[in-house]
A = this chain, B = another copy of it.
Amino acid sequence: MESKVVLYRDVPVQELGGGVTRRVLAYLPGEMVVEVRFAPGAQGAAHSHPHTQCTYVVHGEFAFTIGSETFIVHSGDTLAFAPNETHGCVCDGGGVLIDVFTPMREDFI
């Protein structure tokens, strides 16, 4: 296991459809950083996974659903999703999130 420096300009973009793109940034086995960009009106469909996830709002306004509750968040706000918690979001105006997963998402690489 080795430390890493990942320059944004070197990271390939993954088109997820529906106006959403993903970039897998720095990671180690225990932790992975992922940037997700949303075009205006794009959504992250509700889903769950066994990884702990924290999300940092870089910019934009997002309506996040956690279980049956909805929360409006903006730049600088953060969320923590317990393992297997169902979560999703809608981004009416477009925006950028940083998602961090523990352990890393093997399915993203």
Q: Are A77 and B31 in contact (CB under 8 A)?
A: no
In the complex, A87 Cα to B31 Cα: how many Å? Answer: 17
A53: shortest Cβ distance to chain B, in Å? 8
Question: Of B1, B28, B55, which is within 8 A of A54 by CB?
Answer: B28
In the complex, A66 Cα to B3 Cα: how many Å? Answer: 8
Q: Taking the full assembly, how many copies of this chain does it contain?
A: 2
Q: Are A76 and B35 in contact (CB under 8 A)?
A: yes
Contact stretch, chosen from A13-21, A39-47, A78-86 = A78-86
In the complex, A33 Cα to B83 Cα: how many Å? Answer: 16
Beyond A27-B54, A31-B102, 5 additional pairs, beta carbon < 8 A: A3-B80, A5-B77, A33-B54, A54-B100, A56-B56
Question: Of B3, B8, B35, B79, which is within 8 A of A3 by CB?
Answer: B79
Q: Are A31 and B80 in contact (CB under 8 A)?
A: yes
